[in-house]
């Protein structure tokens, strides 16, 4: 069974993922950051914080298919 904190973190993660797919990167970033306040070591959430930050600064085209292209290794 999931703890209440884990459930809340997953709510923020799920909301962030939905916003990310809708290309609402600023809003998604805020949701993911809220999740990190609850679970600071969550790897997938950290990944999406980094991606949203990059995509907010450098938005993809309107035809974006959701694929994130890494520019560094």
pLDDT at 43: 96
Q: How many CA atoms lie within 13 A of 7 on its CB side?
A: 4
Q: Annotate 18-28 with b (16+ C-beta within 10 A) or e (fewer).
A: ebbeeebbebb
pLDDT at 32: 98
Question: What digits encode the pLDDT tens for the residues 28-41?
Answer: 999 999 999 999 99
Cα 12 to Cα 18: distance, rounded to the nearest angstrom: 10
Per the confidence metrics, is the pTM higher than 0.85? yes
Confidence of residue 73 (pLDDT cuts 50, 70, 90): low
Question: What digits encode the pLDDT tens for the residues 5-14?
Answer: 999 999 999 9
């Amino acid at each position: 069974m999931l703890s209440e904190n884990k459930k809340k973190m997953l709510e923020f993660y799920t909301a962030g993922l939905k916003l990310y797919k809708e290309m609402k990167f600023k809003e998604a970033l805020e949701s993911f950051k809220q999740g990190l306040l609850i679970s600071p070591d969550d790897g997938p959430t950290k990944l999406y914080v980094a991606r949203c930050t990059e995509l907010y600064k450098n938005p993809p085209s309107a035809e974006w298919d959701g694929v994130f292209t890494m520019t560094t290794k």
